[in-house]
Structure 1
Amino acid sequence: MNQALDFDKIELQLVRVLQTLILERSVSKAAMRLGSTQPAISEKLRRLRALTGDQLLVRSGAGMTPTTVALELLAPAERLLREADELFGSRLRRTGFDPATAQVRYRIAASDYLDPLFLPQLVAHLQRLAPGVQLDLHPLTADYDYRAALARGDVDLVIGNWLEPPGELHMGRLLTDEVVCLVSQQHPAARMSARAWTQERYLDCQHLAPMPLSPGQPGVIEQHLLSLGLQRRIAVRGAHFSQLPPMVARSLLVLTTGRLFCRRFVDHLPVTILRCPVAFPPMTYYQLWHDLSHHSAPLRWLREQVREVAKDLVRPG
């Protein structure tokens, strides 16, 4: 029984301290090598002496000398440390991730609010770095419960914009964007001076908006307007965000969203970008993931690639 209790007191760190003390023959040098302090190593030496029933190190002139028992313990201590490295270190090595040879499947739910080129660029980027990866892209719509999907492990990553992302999820901010208005070149606001394009005129227009990402909840633009006690007239709600700019081009509807998204359409559609007369905070885009995948090496790598592609969207040129 006493022997079992003694084993309960043994930590792997004590074995490391024992090996280092025998090799260094000095408490201060062992402390320096282990990144510890001399009092802490002295305390561990006291515990080792109690466990082994031997002094282990004894004074010899200006230094210390290992006892016969200590020298006999050195080989078993080193063998135990090697076996511990094989037992636990091999798992750490297995968590390394080589994208060039990986055969994994990623499942991403994303809105197309961010930029019409974001997902195509992400696909091209992943194909180039990890040709063996399979990528499933899920639309992030109002009827898709992304929080439940993340919690079940049905999806690995969600990309979109929220005023306040859900608190139970891990969050990585990708970028922020200015809120602007996209209108047809034939819209009366396109011919107004900036001073004439007022908040009242903006609210009085007919507006085009995406379906909100959360069922029963207003979208981020509506949330902010409601916080200001304002309301706009939404004439059309669309489930596919990339279809909204062509609708703007053929109508007098106003689309309020990020400049990054709008600027992709001004060169090939008869639309123009206007300053929004309502003061909106910057639109922030995030990637969200669940604690289930937080420590996964392949998914950590994926999140790094998403961040890099998002950075490329806002780099000059």
Structure 2
Amino acid sequence: MTSVDHLDLNLLRVFQAIVEERSLTKAGERLALSQPAVSYSLGRLRTLFDDPLFVRTRAGMQPTPVALELAGIVGKALDMVRVALRYAERFDPATSTRTFRLSLSDAGEMAYLPAICRALRERAPRVTLSVQPLPVEEIEEALRASRLDFAIGNLPELMPRTRHQVLFEETYVCMTGRRRGLPVGAALSLEQFVRAAHVNVKSVEHSHHALDDALRAQGVGRNIALEVPHFVALPSVLSVTDLYATLPKRLARILNRDNAFRLYELPVTLPPAPVTMHWHEHFHEDEGNAWMRALLAEIVERFDE
């Protein structure tokens, strides 16, 4: 029987990396190990579990049934070790070299990232913030697996399943080029809105369906002329076309700082969209995580002040 007293935890890290990467080379790059070192560790793992664990195929290193069964157990075990080590560290923002990983859409990057970075440089100059936008459906697992510390956005799907804090409720406006929009002070009617050609921002990081649902309830829909994955494309597109775009009001104010566009209230009523911050239960009491949560909430909540 194998004793845990003689188990090298680094072997489990190698095992997890091979499971997720399906490649010895990529696993080595991820762990900063040479391929021979990864191969040696795999040999030790095979001896430890008395199983090949991985079989080389054209599609990569495919796990055996034993490896597949072990993958979930090993992943949870490493998560618990990481949590335990975090608790062993006292967090001092002035000296910490910790890296925090945040999932944020491009709208969030444009709106909040400058202020977040400024605050970090002033209060925690050695801390690193890694922005890692993820598809909505991947965020919960990334938080659970400690690949992500926080996610901020309109993420109603996550609210029942993660720790979260409502930061504010977002509203939306319509924006178009100043030379092509309605006269100053004019209201945008539903008929004009439907007749216009629109840019639709369709991002993997968020999914806002409220506008189309509201239009559908009135028996109409948008004329989509262009779909883009990010809000950052809107200024250059709207400035040279007659297209309209619907976007968060806070972001619209940023993009319209030079008064280059016209903003209109939407001709349909949308429910406010809660913008929330999410984190995993296993970091709820962690000092560093709690400190960073407080900073993020302070910046985002005070954005309009």
TM-score by length of 2: 0.64
Runs of 5+ in structure 1 lacking a partner? 1-90
Equivalent residues in 2 for 1:233-252, closer than 5 Å: 233-252=223-242
Partners in 2 of 1:170 and 1:219 — Cα distance?
24
Cα pair distance change 1:112/1:277, threshold 3 Å? same
Q: 1:175 aligns with which of 168, 172, 177?
A: 168
- Match for 1:296: what amino acid? D
Aligned 8 A contact 1:151 1:290 in 2: yes
Aligned 8 A contact 1:95 1:296 in 2: no
Deviations 1:39-66 (Å, cap 9, x if unpaired)? Answer: xxxxxxxxxxxxxxxxxxxxxxxxxxxx
SS at structure 1 position matched to 2:234: helix
Q: 1:273 aligns with which of 251, 263, 266?
A: 263
Deviations 1:147-173 (Å, cap 9, x if unpaired)? Answer: 221222111101112455442111111
Partners in 2 of 1:126 and 1:257 — Cα distance?
28
Equivalent in the alignment of 1:187: 180
Partners in 2 of 1:116 and 1:201 — Cα distance?
29
Q: CA deviation at 1:263?
A: 1.0
Equivalent in the alignment of 1:205: 196
Partners in 2 of 1:223 and 1:259 — Cα distance?
19
Equivalent in the alignment of 2:47: none
Instruction: Output the aligned Cα RMSD.
Output: 2.8
Runs of 5+ in structure 2 lacking a partner? 1-84
Equivalent residues in 2 for 1:29-178, closer than 5 Å: 96-114=90-108, 116-141=110-135, 145-162=138-155, 165-178=158-171
Q: CA deviation at 1:220?
A: 4.6
Equivalent in the alignment of 2:71: none
TM-score by length of 1: 0.62
Aligned 8 A contact 1:183 1:190 in 2: no
Partners in 2 of 1:106 and 1:145 — Cα distance?
18
Aligned 8 A contact 2:203 2:230 in 1: no
Deviations 1:121-161 (Å, cap 9, x if unpaired)? Answer: 1112112111121211112457x722221222111101112
Aligned 8 A contact 2:150 2:279 in 1: yes
Aligned 8 A contact 1:162 1:220 in 2: no
Cα pair distance change 1:149/1:270, threshold 3 Å? same
SS at structure 2 position matched to 1:113: helix
Structure index of larger Rg: 1
- Match for 2:277: what amino acid? Q
Cα pair distance change 1:122/1:192, threshold 3 Å? closer
Aligned 8 A contact 1:115 1:261 in 2: no
Aligned 8 A contact 1:190 1:272 in 2: no
Cα pair distance change 1:140/1:273, threshold 3 Å? farther
- Match for 1:206: what amino acid? A
Deviations 1:175-199 (Å, cap 9, x if unpaired)? Answer: 22331111111224345722xx211
